[in-house]
Structure 1
C-alpha cells in the first residue's frame, strides 16, 4: 500500500523546512522506524522515520530543496523484508542504513548506458547512479574518492573527480578550475539573520579583562581524579565560568535584564546558553535554573549538549529562551574576540585560550596562565559601569573560587 511521506509539524513557529539528506535510496527495503530522511530548520535538524517495513518508491523533493509543513516529499510502500533480512531491526547502522540491511551489489545491477561495470573491489559500495556515471565516463571506482554514507561512491563524487581533475588515468592528468555553489542551510541562514539583526537593532559595546587561571587550574588538578571517579565526567573550566556568571548576575542584575516593549524585564532565575559547535553550525542550548545546579550537573549537561549537537539532536525547546550566553573560542585557539549578543539577551561572555604570559605581580615579573575575557553588552540596557563591574566580578571569583562560596 502506497503511503505519503509528509513533512511533519516540527514547531509552532516553523512553517518551512529544507530537505537535508535522504538516508535511504529509492527501492531499498528498510525496517519500521528506520530514519529515511533528515529535515533541516533554522534551529535544528529532524529525522523522519519509516512508517512501516518497506521501500521508498519515489522521492519528490531532493536534498537542498525546500518544502512546507504538510507537503508530500515522497512515497513509501509497505513490503515484506527480502529473504535473509531481519524485518524486526529498526536501528541505523553507522553508515546511515538499517542495521539489518544488506549492502547493495552494484556489480549485479544492469547499467542503463554502455553496460561497462566499474572494475574495483569496492563495487558493493558504488551507488546505482554513480555506477552508471562511471560507465559513461569509462572510469574505475578506484579513481574516485567516496563521500557517501559508509564509504559509498555517489554520482556527485564521480562528477567532482572529473571536474576537479582528481581522478587518475587517461584524460584526467590536468587539474581543472571549478567552483562549488552550496545553498545556505536553514540554520546557517538563521544565524546570519540574527547576527545582522543584533548589530543593527542593539547598541553593542564590548569590554575586556584578563584572568589569571592559576587558582582554577590548581583546584582542578587537586580534585580532578576524585571528581572523575565520582561523577564519571571531567572537571572542566566551563562549570567555573557558569557559576561565576550566576554570581556576577546576582551582583549586577542589569546584565541579565531584557528590553521588551520599552520595559526592562528582570528574571529571578538564571537560564544560561552555552554555545557549542553542531553538525550544521553553532547552536546555543540552554541550561535551565543554573543557580540550582552543581558543578557535576553543569559538566554533564554541557557534555550531553555537545554530543547531541554533533548529531543535530538538540531539540527546539532546548534552544529557546536564555537570560545570558557564554561562548568559548578558546577551544579553537582564539586569543581575543568580540562576541555578539544573542537577542533579546543583553549580554554575552566570550572566553578565550589560556596562554602563559608575563605579568607584573607584587612588583615582580612572573609567568602565569592567562585568559582574556570579553563581555559584549547592549548599551541600551547596561551602562558601562555595570558592564565593567560585572566582568571584574567574574575575574575575581574565577581567580579565587572560594569567593563564590563565601559570597564576598
Structure 2
C-alpha cells in the first residue's frame, strides 16, 4: 500500500487558494479597523489642551501649504474645545482672517484676535512686530471698507431722494413732452444724396422720392430726467445733467422705454422711421437745401468733435432747424425704427420703416458729439447693433398727429 499526500483536483486547489486569500484580506481589514478605532479612542481620550495643540499644528501646516479653508476648520475645532486656546492660536487665527477673510467682519474678528495676542506677549517676542504689521493692515482694510459702506449708503440715499423727486416731477415731465411734440405735415421729398450734400456714402444713393404721412416729432432728444423718471435708473455716462440727452442706451432699451412711457401716458410714442427722420431734418415742406440740419454753418447748429469738449451737452443750446427741432445734427446719434440695409432697397410708398434684412442692427441718424462733420449731414446714415451701448447714442420720439 502506498502512503503519501493525496493529489488535489484543480477545482479543489483553486477553492482552497481563494479561501486562504479571503481569510488574509479579512484579517487585514480587521487590523485596519482596529487601528482606526484605537486611534479614535486615543484622540478622544486626549485632554482638550493637548487636542488644541494638535489642531493648532494642523492649522499652521495648512497655512504653510496655502490651504486657508483647511486651516480655518482646524481653528474652529480649537474654538469648540472646552479649554483656553494656546496663546499662539490668537496670532495665527488673526493672521488667517486678516489675510484671507472673505468680508470685513472676518477682518474685524482677526483684528480682535491679534489685539488679544499682542497684549499678552513681550515686546522682544518674534511675533511682536509681525502682529503690529498685521494690525496695521487690518485697520486700513476696515477703514477702507467703512468708507465704501458710507459712500454706498450716501449713494443709495441720494438715489432714493432723486427717485422720490423724479416721481413728483413725472407728471410735469410728461406734460412738457406732449407740449414739445412738433406737428409735421406730410408730403413728398427727395431723400438721399441730394445736390447740396457732399462726401456721400453708397447707402445714401440712389436719390429717390419718398412720400411721408403727417406725424409729430419731439423738439428735443429724450433727456436723462425723463428716462430716469420712467425707468428708475439713469444709464448715461455723463450723469448729473438732467437736461442732457440720455445716452448709453441701445435700440432694444429705447423700445422698452417707449413701452413703459406709453403705458404711463396712454399715448403711442415710437421711434421715427428713417424717412420721417430725414424729412423732419430737412425741414419737411419748409425744406431748405442745407448741408447739415438747419444750416451750412455746423457750429451754429451742432455739438461735434471740434466744439463738444469731449462730452454731451444740454438740449436746445444750438440753433434749431426750420421746424424748431434742436440737435438733429450732433450731440447724440439718434436711433430710428428701421433695420439696417447697406444698400437702400427702394423707397416705401408711405415712408414706413424697413423691418427686414439685417435686424440685429438698426439705423442711427444725425451724428454726435464724437463725430466728424461728414457724419452730421442731413442724408448721412449709420448703424449699430441693437443691444450695443455707446455714450454718444440716444434717440427722440415720434407720435401720431
TM-score, length of structure 2 as denominator length: 0.23
Q: Which has the higher strand share?
A: 1
Q: Which has the higher helix share?
A: 2
TM-score, length of structure 1 as denominator length: 0.23
